Each structure stands twice: as C-alpha cells, then as structure tokens.
Amino acid sequence: MRSLNLKTLVLTLIVSASTAATANAAMIFNFTEVAGNVQLVVSGSINLAATTFAFTSGNSNDVINPIGGNVIVGNPNANTDNYNVPFAAWTSFGPGGGTFFSLDSGDRVALYSNPLLGLPLGYTSFTPLSATGTILGATFASLGMTPGSYVSTLTNQGITDTVTVNVGQTAVPEPATLLLLGAGLAAAARRSRART
C-alpha cells in the first residue's frame, strides 16, 4: 500500500510540473545588492501567445526606471522585437527615476515605458533568456527601488504568462526544481524503507 501511495505522489508531481511548465513560462528580473553594487540577472522565458507582436526597434539606452517599472538591459548593440502587453503600465518597483547600467550583457530584453515587452530579434516561445546588468556604487535606496516582488500578468486569448521583478527577494522555485525535490524525497523514502 505504501509503495502505491509513493508512486501516486511521484506521478502527481511529474504531471503537475509538466502542466505548469507548458501553461506559462515566466520571465524573471532579479535585483540584488552585492559588494556595494546593484546587480540584475534576467532569466526564464516567455510564451509569445500571451502577447501580440507590435514592431521591431533599434537599440536604446540600458536603464532602470523604478517608478515606471521599466528595465532595458542586455547587449547594448542589439535591436528588439517588441510585443504589446494588456495593461497601461508595468508594475512600479519604487519611486526612483532613470539610472543607466554601468555594465550589461546577454540577451537584449526590455520592459519599455510604452508599455511594450522587448525581446531578442526572432525570439521564439519558451527559449531561455539570459541577461545581466550592474549599476556600480549603488544601493536599492540610492536608486529608489523598494524591496519586494512585483508581478505583471500577460494575457491574450486565454494564454497567460508573467513577468516578475524581484528587488532583494528570493525567487520562487520553478516547476522543474519542485519535480527534482519530489523525486529526491521519493528516493530517500524508498531507501529508508529498504533498510528496514
């Protein structure tokens, strides 16, 4: 009976994780304070079905603007494909104005003030995104950033996705991480029963 319950638990975790992964993707902007600097790491992906294509644009300054919820980061020489979002403005993450990144690299991504979502040219749904940025000699306070987790939801014809800006917050584990945790717990339980 116990092995049946364990198998049911593992199967439920696998189904839940795979369903969550296909339902939406989730793009995450994680800001942290490190050694007297503010660092940004962008990760995740987007399901383009949750947006509609608007236009392609040339490069622009790499900046954060907390009051407008805006971030432009990544390869400064790259253009972006821009997508409409279903709201009037990105979620503000503090009262601060615009500040330029000192250093940045990776995929060109943007939360434009229009508001538009900027993604690398030719981006396809669920492709992992990766960008980093650093503002030297800064703190959340000096940039007018309020610690917290700020979520903007993209919805188009029943498809939903999210863009989250974390300021000094720990990210929520992705479904794949939860799946690995569940598999590890199941293996530990099995080993424990085998020893007795």
**Domain assignment of residue 10, yes or no:** no
**Domain assignment of residue 13, yes or no:** no
**Domain assignment of residue 15, yes or no:** no
How much is the pLDDT for 13?
Answer: 42
**Domain assignment of residue 125, yes or no:** yes
Domain count, the chain: 1
Structural domain that includes position 66 = 27-179
**Domain assignment of residue 124, yes or no:** yes
**Domain assignment of residue 156, yes or no:** yes
**Domain assignment of residue 193, yes or no:** no
The side-by-side arrangement of strands in the sheet containing 63-65 is 52-57, 80-84, 116-120, 109-112, 70-73, 63-65, 99-100
How much is the pLDDT for 18?
Answer: 41
**Domain assignment of residue 76, yes or no:** yes
Segment-wise mean pLDDT, segments of 10 residues, the chain, 196 residues: 50 42 73 97 95 90 95 94 92 96 96 94 96 97 97 91 89 50 56 59
Coil, helix or strand at residue 195: helix
